Amino acid sequence: MEDNKVRLAKLLARRGVASRRGAERRIAAGEVTVNGQVADGSTPVDPEVDHVRIDGRPLPPEPPLVYYLLYKPRGVITGRGDPEGRPSVFDDLQGVAHRVEPVGRLDFDTEGALLLTNDGDLAHALTHPTRGIPKRYLAKVYRTPDARDLAAIERGISLEDGRTAPARARVLETTDRHNAWLEITVTEGRNRLIRRMMGALGHPVSKLRRESFATISIRGMERGQVRPLTGEEIRRLRDVIGGMRPSRAGRRKGKGFARAKPRPVKPNHRKRARQQGNESRTSRTGGRGGPGSRGSGS
């Protein structure tokens, strides 16, 4: 792809028209034209040369990149629309002048740190499974996990969609009613991951709060509060995605990274000479006494 060219859906998202998925839907619906022709989205465009219109109107200018942190309350969704009519984090997002999208998701019943940005490249990097971005939670669970439970979390737990990546967990506090508060740090973004992990160990979660995402913390914030990230926090996010190696799960799958070329196997001349000597003796003795003469078993 040429330097100035970009995928059409990415361009629409960058201009604040819609999220990438929303842009793909509008392209599929025939609402977008490129140089007077209905676009199919498969051909990249050059925004400095090609004339892109949506519903007959030119695209708005590219907005500045913005980054926010929201202390998401419990009982709201992170999407823009819900068939069940549940409230959304976008219903009352005061102080945010540009269209932003959430970086990842938080469950309806989970509260805590939710990043919002119009920087699609950064959001994609922060949520890519090969990155292993740390997410720290506080979880209130039924009954206090013992040392074996904590060790299982650190090793990985078998769930219906595969084994979890190693995580960190420690007990912070126990309560009078046989409950406990845990601090759990995971590097995956699977749906309802911590609730399923703890449920599999027999410690169902009653409350869950994400304290930080990629080192960006809600410390000092109130539920529902949104604030812009500081320059230092933005630099930290870029350092995280630039300096982190892919997780073990990502390396096994080879997602986003080129596989290492296999090293050439050097011939072992001594071993080859021994094998040739064994073959020569076997031919002289009729096969008795050579390797494998006792049979392989079954």
- Note whether 42 and 93 are within 8 A (CB): no
CATH number where 54 lies? 3.10.290.10
Q: What is the pLDDT of residue 30?
A: 94
Domain membership flag for residue 219 = no
Q: What is the pLDDT of residue 82?
A: 83
Which member of 3, 82, 91, 107 is catalytic? 107
Number of structural domains, the chain? 3
If asked whether residues 159 and 206 sit together in one domain, one would say yes
If asked whether residues 43 and 171 sit together in one domain, one would say no
Measured over the CA atoms of residue 236, residue 19, residue 27 and residue 62, the dihedral's sign is: negative
Please report, as a single letter, which amino acid is at residue 26.
R
If asked whether residues 166 and 201 sit together in one domain, one would say yes
The last residue of a domain, from among 16, 39, 58: 58
If asked whether residues 92 and 229 sit together in one domain, one would say yes
What's the CA gap between 244 and 260, in Å, rounded? 18
Q: Which residues of the chain have pLDDT under 70?
A: 1-3, 243-298
If asked whether residues 82 and 229 sit together in one domain, one would say yes
What's the CA gap between 93 and 138, in Å, rounded? 25
Domain membership flag for residue 192 = yes
In this structure, the strands spanning 179-186 and 168-174 are antiparallel
Q: What is the pLDDT of residue 276?
A: 52
Domain membership flag for residue 12 = yes
If asked whether residues 209 and 144 sit together in one domain, one would say yes
Domain membership flag for residue 278 = no
pTM above 0.85, yes or no: no
DSSP 162-227: EEPPP-EEEEEEE-TTSEEEEEEEE----TTHHHHHHHHTT--EEEEEEEEETTEE-TTPPTT-EE
Domain membership flag for residue 259 = no
- Note whether 63 and 118 are within 8 A (CB): yes
What's the CA gap between 158 and 242, in Å, rounded? 30
DSSP state letter for 77: B
If asked whether residues 122 and 238 sit together in one domain, one would say yes
Domain extent, residue 17, equals 8-58
CATH number where 80 lies? 3.30.70.580
Q: What is the pLDDT of residue 287?
A: 41
pLDDT in tens, 96-127: 888 899 999 999 999 999 999 999 889 999 99
CATH number where 161 lies? 3.30.70.1560
DSSP state letter for 73: P
If asked whether residues 71 and 124 sit together in one domain, one would say yes
Domain membership flag for residue 284 = no
What's the CA gap between 126 and 120, in Å, rounded? 10
107 is annotated as an active-site residue: yes
- As a 3-state breakdown, the chain gives helix, strand, coil percent values, each rounded to 5, of 25, 25, 50
